[in-house]
């Protein structure tokens, strides 16, 4: 079988531009799958929603499927260790509105998430024993030509100075699905230029939560 590769050219990158009108969440399930129920939600596969009012379940999530009022989230969304909410009086969902595709990106580099180590050595250990600790989320670095008056780069400047946490979406080629992440701009736009050249720039987005893969 031929090796499956994922080309960079043709990848699409979007950032959240805002939220649509909130819908009330009336129920949810945490196992065996993460689902929420919202009447008249008008959602479809591939949409991203922001959930609020459900405490530890709050956040941005991709939609895998919709059946009537029941919305099933991506299979990587695991709520099985969470308490099932019983109060839905303030629970809402809001659909994310995406920017235009950021076509100016020349390079996209993601630092992987890492696990810290916890020392669990005891008096009976033969040596130092460790086990996985907390996850340290990685970052996403974008490189592009510097054009600060363009809509996208202006939005990125605004998100940085407003200290905004926002969702982003990467749609991969060759049937590799889409990555949905959440983060804030850790390093604002830098730029460099030289004679007979063009200004180049870049930003770094620090993940604030884990990302989710939604297969095609």
| Residue 160 Cα distances to 144, 153, 166, 200, 204, angstroms | 17, 11, 10, 18, 10
Q: Can you list the domains of the chain with their CATH numbers?
A: 16-98 (2.40.30), 105-214 (2.40.30)
pLDDT at position 2 is: 67
Average pLDDT (119-132) is: 85
DSSP 162: T
Kindly report the average pLDDT of the chain as a whole number: 94
Q: Is the pLDDT of residue 161 over 70?
A: yes
pTM of the model: 0.91
Band of residue 121 on the pLDDT scale cut at 50, 70, 90: confident
Q: Residue 184 — φ and ψ, nearest 5°? A: -135, 160
Q: Is the pLDDT of residue 182 over 80?
A: yes
pLDDT at position 1 is: 62
């Amino acid at each position: 079988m031929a090796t499956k590769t994922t080309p960079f050219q043709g990848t699409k990158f979007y950032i959240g531009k805002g939220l649509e009108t909130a819908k009330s969440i009336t129920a949810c399930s945490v196992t065996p799958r993460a689902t929420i129920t919202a009447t008249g939600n008008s959602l479809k596969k591939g949409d991203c929603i922001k959930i609020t009012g459900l405490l530890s379940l709050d956040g941005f999530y991709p939609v895998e499927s919709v059946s009537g009022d029941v919305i099933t989230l991506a299979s990587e969304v695991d709520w099985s260790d969470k308490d099932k909410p019983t109060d839905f009086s303030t629970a809402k969902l809001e659909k994310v509105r995406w920017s235009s595709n950021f076509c100016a990106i020349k390079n996209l580099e993601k630092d992987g998430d890492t696990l810290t180590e916890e020392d669990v050595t005891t008096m009976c250990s033969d040596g130092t024993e460790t086990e996985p600790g907390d996850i340290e989320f990685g970052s996403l670095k974008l490189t592009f030509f510097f054009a600060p008056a363009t809509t996208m780069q202006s939005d990125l400047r605004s998100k940085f100075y407003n200290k905004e946490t926002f969702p982003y979406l990467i749609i991969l080629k060759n049937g590799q699905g889409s990555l949905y992440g959440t983060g804030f701009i850790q390093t604002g736009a830098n730029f460099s230029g030289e004679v007979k050249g063009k200004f180049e720039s870049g930003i770094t987005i620090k993940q604030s939560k884990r990302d989710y893969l939604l297969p095609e």
